[in-house]
Structures are given as structure tokens and as C-alpha cells.
């Protein structure tokens, strides 16, 4: 059974190919993806790697968590399931629909 890993604190120049090459040292990589901003296309500083087995994934966590890559110390752990988002993304938990009132109100 495969395992999905979260890889954080990536340098902005790190690519999906860089992640594939690095994690291949621990086992077979099914996929690797650096998450990019939708508008700018720039890296958001984190990504996900899917390894073919739990054993390889755990080995990758041990091997690469805290390892330096491109001048940054990686944070690697098992990815958590994605949290559901509300339909109204603009609200952001604020009672007035996500907008700040001016301080004079």
C-alpha cells in the first residue's frame, strides 16, 4: 500500500523533479509534486511525494526529515487528509463576511 508524504520548508527554486530524484534514494516514487500558487505559478514552499510502500515512506521520513536541500531544512511527515473547505472562501471565519471594519466604526 502506498503512502503520501508532506514535504515542507522547500526552497522556492526546488522542482517536482528535484523531489523525485531525492526521494528515489529511499525507494520507488509514484509521484512528486511541488505545490504552486494558482495565480503566479510560483512555488508555495511545500509539496507531496507518494511512495509505493509504507516501509519506503517511513524510510524516507527518517532519511530526509531535517535534511538540508537547497539551503533549507526539510520537514517530512505523513500527509494528513485534506480538510474540507466551506463554500464561501471569502468569509475566513469573520462575522461580517471576511471584511475588516475600519477602526472608526
pLDDT at 4 over 80: yes
Write out pLDDT tens, residues 22-52. Answer: 999 999 999 999 999 999 999 999 999 999 9
Residue 66 confidence (pLDDT): 97
Closest by Cα among 66, 27, 25 to 50? 27
Q: Which residue has the cell 464561501?
A: 88
H or E stretch including 62? helix 54-64
Write out pLDDT tens, residues 54-78. Answer: 999 999 999 999 999 999 999 999 9
Contacts 24+ apart (CB under 8 A), 39-43: 42/12, 43/10, 43/12, 43/13, 43/14
Residue 88 confidence (pLDDT): 59
pTM of the model: 0.77
The structural domains of the chain, ordered by start, are: 3-78 (3.30.70.330)
Amino acid at each position: 500500500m502506498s503512502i503520501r508524504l508532506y514535504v515542507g520548508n522547500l526552497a522556492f527554486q526546488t522542482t517536482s523533479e528535484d523531489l523525485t530524484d531525492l526521494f528515489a534514494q529511499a525507494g520507488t516514487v509514484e509521484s512528486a509534486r511541488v505545490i504552486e500558487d494558482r495565480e503566479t505559478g510560483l512555488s508555495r514552499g511545500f509539496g507531496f511525494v507518494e511512495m509505493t510502500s509504507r516501509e519506503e515512506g517511513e524510510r524516507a521520513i527518517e532519511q530526509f526529515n531535517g535534511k538540508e536541500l537547497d539551503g533549507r531544512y526539510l520537514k517530512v511527515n505523513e500527509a494528513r487528509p485534506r480538510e474540507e473547505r466551506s463554500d464561501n472562501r471569502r468569509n475566513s471565519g469573520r462575522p461580517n463576511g471576511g471584511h475588516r471594519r475600519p477602526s472608526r466604526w
